[in-house]
């Protein structure tokens, strides 16, 4: 069994039982104690679980509030992040956008750039971009990725969405995580959201993370991009006072305060 397959099975077991013994994992995966130990150590390093005596416990991270709630929270900071992110782009580029309150505000600003191709799994972002293009000849295109509908995030998801992402190659992936941690990287709470973000990051030449100050130094359940693999983190000026900022500057190639 490949490591990623083992990781998926361990995640599934933890989602069901919250607490697992090493013996249970050994039996379920038909692997050695040493293999389980290495897997748990790596998953703990990704922030997905906590190792305890003789096993592992699911992290106590909380899911994000609904998108409708997040859309009205810290709007000033998120608009500043969107403006700073736009300054990193050039007309005619192809970009990935995942679903999120910050990327939704970024979509509004994208209408000012000509010839952009935006590939997204967000229904609201796709509709917003289509509405902005109506009656204007900007030469831009919007691609809505197919898949299952996640009502909570108003986005497509699932294996079909990930497979479709891999058909494209983008200049930039602009992603909005649940948490941005210097050690654990860009993180999501839901595994299916992390799978989308991870695929977009892998299919882009440049990875830009959009995270307001409330996400800096926080951790969630699933890492989709290591800090060392992130080209730019764009955050708001309030992050200047966050204790994790110095470590984040050391871990990531570039941090922009908007």
Please give the pLDDT value at position 219: 81
228 band by pLDDT with thresholds 50, 70 and 90: very high
Please give the pLDDT value at position 14: 80
Burial of 90 (0-12, 13-18, 19+ CB in 10 A): exposed
- Residue range 131-152: average pLDDT? 85
Dihedral sign, Cα of residue 253, residue 234, residue 229, residue 94? negative
Whole-number Å distance between alpha carbons of 123 and 85: 21
- Residue range 211-225: average pLDDT? 90
Please give the pLDDT value at position 189: 86
Per the listing, tokens 């090493």 go with: 22
How far is CA 179 from its chain centroid?
A: 8
Cβ atoms of 191 and 156 within 8 Å: the answer is no
Query: Is pLDDT of 88 > 90?
Result: yes
How far is CA 177 from its chain centroid?
A: 4
pLDDT top residue among 55 and 161:
161
Q: Give CA torsion, residues 193, 198, 203, 207, to 10 deg.
A: 100
73 band by pLDDT with thresholds 50, 70 and 90: low
Query: Is pLDDT of 234 > 90?
Result: yes
Query: Is pLDDT of 68 > 60?
Result: no
Whole-number Å distance between alpha carbons of 198 and 162: 9
Query: Is pLDDT of 17 > 80?
Result: no
The alpha-carbon radius of gyration of the chain (Å, integer) is: 19
Please give the pLDDT value at position 166: 97
Q: Which of 96, 33, 98, 95 is nearest to 64 (CA)?
A: 98
The DSSP output letter for 214 is G
- Residue range 39-54: average pLDDT? 85
Pairing of strands 55-58, 49-52: antiparallel
- 3-16 pLDDT per residue, tens: 888 888 888 788 76
pLDDT top residue among 190 and 231:
231
* Lowest mean pLDDT across 15-19, 34-38, 97-101, 126-130: 15-19
Cβ atoms of 184 and 213 within 8 Å: the answer is no
Q: Mean of the per-residue pLDDT values for the chain?
A: 89
Please give the pLDDT value at position 96: 99
* Lowest mean pLDDT across 49-58, 68-77, 192-201, 223-232: 68-77
Whole-number Å distance between alpha carbons of 121 and 197: 10
Query: Is pLDDT of 102 > 80?
Result: yes
Domains and CATH numbers, the chain: 3-58 (1.10.10.10), 67-257 (3.40.50.1360)
Q: Which of 173, 167, 128, 130 is nearest to 145 (CA)?
A: 167
Please give the pLDDT value at position 3: 86
């Amino acid at each position: 069994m490949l490591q990623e397959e083992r990781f998926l099975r361990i995640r599934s077991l933890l989602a069901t039982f919250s607490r697992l013994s090493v013996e249970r994992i050994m039996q379920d995966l038909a692997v050695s104690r040493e293999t389980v130990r290495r897997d748990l150590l790596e998953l703990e390093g990704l922030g997905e679980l906590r190792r305890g005596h003789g096993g592992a416990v699911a992290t106590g991270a909380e899911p994000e509030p609904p998108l409708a709630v997040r859309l009205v929270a810290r709007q000033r900071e998120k608009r500043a992040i969107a403006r700073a992110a736009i300054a990193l782009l050039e007309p005619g580029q192809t970009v990935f956008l995942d679903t999120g309150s910050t990327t939704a505000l970024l979509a509004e600003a994208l209408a000012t750039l000509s010839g952009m191709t935006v590939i997204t799994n967000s229904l609201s972002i796709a509709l917003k971009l289509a509405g902005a293009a109506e009656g204007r000849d900007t030469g831009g295109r919007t691609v809505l990725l197919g898949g299952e509908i996640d009502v909570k995030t108003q986005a497509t998801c699932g294996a079909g969405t990930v497979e479709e992402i891999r058909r494209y190659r983008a200049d930039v992936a602009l992603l909005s995580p649940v948490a941005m941690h210097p050690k654990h990287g860009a993180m999501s709470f839901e595994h299916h959201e992390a799978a989308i973000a991870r695929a977009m990051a892998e299919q882009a030449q440049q990875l830009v993370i959009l995270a307001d100050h409330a996400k800096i130094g926080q951790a969630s359940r699933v890492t989709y991009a290591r800090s060392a693999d992130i080209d730019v983190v764009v955050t708001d000026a309030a992050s200047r006072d966050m204790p994790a900022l110095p470590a984040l500057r050391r871990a990531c190639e570039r941090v922009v305060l908007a």
